[in-house]
Chain A
Amino acid sequence: MSQTLTDTTPGGIEYDEQPLLQIRNLEVGFQTQRGLVPAVRGVDITLYSGQTLAIVGESGSGKTTTAQAIIDLLPGAGKVTAGQVLFEGRDLTKLSAKDIQAVRGNLIGYVPQDPMSNLNPVWNIGFQVEEAIKANGLAQGKEARARTIQVLQEAGLSDAADRLKQYPHQFSGGMRQRVLIGIGLSARPKLLIADEPTSALDVTVQRQILDHLDTLTRDYGTSVLFITHDLGLAAERAEQLVVMYKGKVVESGPSQEILANPQHPYTQRLVSAAPSLASRRIQSAKHANAGDAVIFGEGSLDDTLVARAADRENAAPAKDLISVQDISKVYRIRKKGLRTDELRAVDGVSFGIQKGTTTALVGESGSGKSTVAKLILQLESITSGAIEFDGQDVAGLKGKELLKFRRRVQPVFQDPYGSLDPQYSVGNTIVEPLLAHGVGTAKERQARVKELLDQVSLPWASRFRYPSELSGGQRQRIAIARALALKPDVLVLDEAVSALDVLVQGQVLNLLTELQTELGLTYLFITHDLAVVRLVADNVCVMQKGRIVEAASTDNVFDNPQQAYTQELLAAIPGGNFQFGR
Chain B
Amino acid sequence: MLWYTGRRVLQMIPVFFGATFLIYFMVFSLPGDPIAALYGDRPPAPGVIEQIRAQYNLDKPLIQQYLIYIGNFFQGDLGTTYSGRPVSDVMAGAFPITFRLAMLALVFEAFAGIFVGLVAGLRKGKWFDASALVVSLLLISVPTFVLGFLFRLVFGVQLGWFRTTVSSEAPWGELILPALVLASVSFAYIVRLTRASVADNLNADFVRTATAKGLSRRRVVTVHVLRNSLVPVVTFLGVDLGSLMVGAIITEGIFNINGVGGTVYKAIVLGESTTVVSFIAVMVVIFVLANLLVDLLYAALDPRIRYAK
A interface, CB within 8 angstroms of B: 68, 71, 73, 75-76, 97, 101-106, 109-110, 112-114, 117-124, 131-132, 135-136, 167, 169-170, 180, 183-184, 187, 334, 337
Max chain A C-beta neighbours (<10 A), residue from B212, B219, B223, B304? B212
On whether the beta carbons of A122 and B302 are closer than 8 Å, the reply is yes
Q: With A75-B203, A122-B301 known to touch, is A112 a contact of B208 (CB < 8 Å)?
A: yes
Q: With A120-B228, A121-B302, A167-B303 known to touch, is A105 a contact of B212 (CB < 8 Å)?
A: yes
On whether the beta carbons of A118 and B303 are closer than 8 Å, the reply is no
Answer yes or no: B216 CB below 8 A from chain A CBs: yes
Residue of A nearest to B228 (CB): A122
**Mostly helix, strand, loop or mixed at chain B's interface?**
helix
CB contacts (< 8 Å) of A103 on chain B: these are 214
Binary interface encoding of chain B residues 293-309 relative to chain A, with 1 for a CB under 8 A from any of its CBs, else 0? 00000000111100101
Binary interface encoding of chain B residues 267-309 relative to chain A, with 1 for a CB under 8 A from any of its CBs, else 0? 0000000000000000000000000000000000111100101
Q: List 29 A-B contacts (CB under 8 A).
A: A73-B211, A75-B203, A75-B208, A97-B217, A105-B215, A106-B214, A109-B212, A110-B209, A110-B213, A112-B208, A114-B205, A118-B205, A120-B206, A120-B224, A120-B228, A121-B206, A121-B228, A122-B228, A124-B303, A131-B215, A132-B215, A135-B213, A135-B214, A135-B219, A167-B304, A169-B303, A183-B213, A187-B214, A337-B3
B interface, CB within 8 angstroms of A: 3, 202-217, 219, 223-224, 227-228, 301-304, 307, 309
Least Cβ distance of A535 to chain B in Å?
A: 32
CB contacts (< 8 Å) of A122 on chain B: these are 227-228, 301-303
CB contacts (< 8 Å) of B303 on chain A: these are 121-122, 124, 167, 169
Bound Cα distance from A185 to B70, whole angstroms? 66
What 14 new A-B contacts, CB under 8 Å, besides A101-B214, A118-B206?
A: A68-B208, A102-B214, A103-B214, A104-B211, A117-B206, A118-B205, A121-B206, A121-B302, A122-B227, A122-B301, A122-B303, A123-B224, A167-B304, A187-B214
On whether the beta carbons of B204 and A117 are closer than 8 Å, the reply is yes
Max chain B C-beta neighbours (<10 A), residue from A101, A114, A122? A122
CB contacts (< 8 Å) of B224 on chain A: these are 120, 123
On whether the beta carbons of A112 and B205 are closer than 8 Å, the reply is yes
Bound Cα distance from A73 to B207, whole angstroms? 10
Least Cβ distance of A516 to chain B in Å?
A: 38
Least Cβ distance of A345 to chain B in Å?
A: 19
Residue of B nearest to A108 (CB): B212
CB contacts (< 8 Å) of B304 on chain A: these are 121, 167, 169
CB contacts (< 8 Å) of A334 on chain B: these are 309
On whether the beta carbons of B216 and A135 are closer than 8 Å, the reply is yes
Least Cβ distance of A123 to chain B in Å?
A: 8
Least Cβ distance of B202 to chain A in Å?
A: 7
On whether the beta carbons of A104 and B202 are closer than 8 Å, the reply is no
On whether the beta carbons of A132 and B205 are closer than 8 Å, the reply is no
Least Cβ distance of B303 to chain A in Å?
A: 4
On whether the beta carbons of B205 and A117 are closer than 8 Å, the reply is yes
Residue of B nearest to A132 (CB): B213
CB contacts (< 8 Å) of B219 on chain A: these are 131, 135
Bound Cα distance from A123 to B224, whole angstroms? 9
Bound Cα distance from A149 to B303, whole angstroms? 22
CB contacts (< 8 Å) of B215 on chain A: these are 101, 105, 131-132, 135
Bound Cα distance from A117 to B302, whole angstroms? 15
Max chain B C-beta neighbours (<10 A), residue from A97, A113, A123, A136? A123
CB contacts (< 8 Å) of B302 on chain A: these are 121-122
Residue of A nearest to B212 (CB): A110
Which of A124, A136, A337 contacts B214 (CB under 8 A)?
A136
Residue of B nearest to A117 (CB): B205
On whether the beta carbons of B205 and A104 are closer than 8 Å, the reply is no
CB contacts (< 8 Å) of B205 on chain A: these are 112-114, 117-118
Residue of A nearest to B214 (CB): A105
Bound Cα distance from A112 to B206, whole angstroms? 9
Bound Cα distance from A68 to B223, whole angstroms? 22
Bound Cα distance from A105 to B205, whole angstroms? 16
CB contacts (< 8 Å) of B204 on chain A: these are 117
Residue of B nearest to A169 (CB): B304
Bound Cα distance from A112 to B212, whole angstroms? 9
Least Cβ distance of B225 to chain A in Å?
A: 10
On whether the beta carbons of B228 and A73 are closer than 8 Å, the reply is no
CB contacts (< 8 Å) of B227 on chain A: these are 122-123
On whether the beta carbons of B213 and A73 are closer than 8 Å, the reply is no
CB contacts (< 8 Å) of A337 on chain B: these are 3
On whether the beta carbons of A132 and B214 are closer than 8 Å, the reply is yes
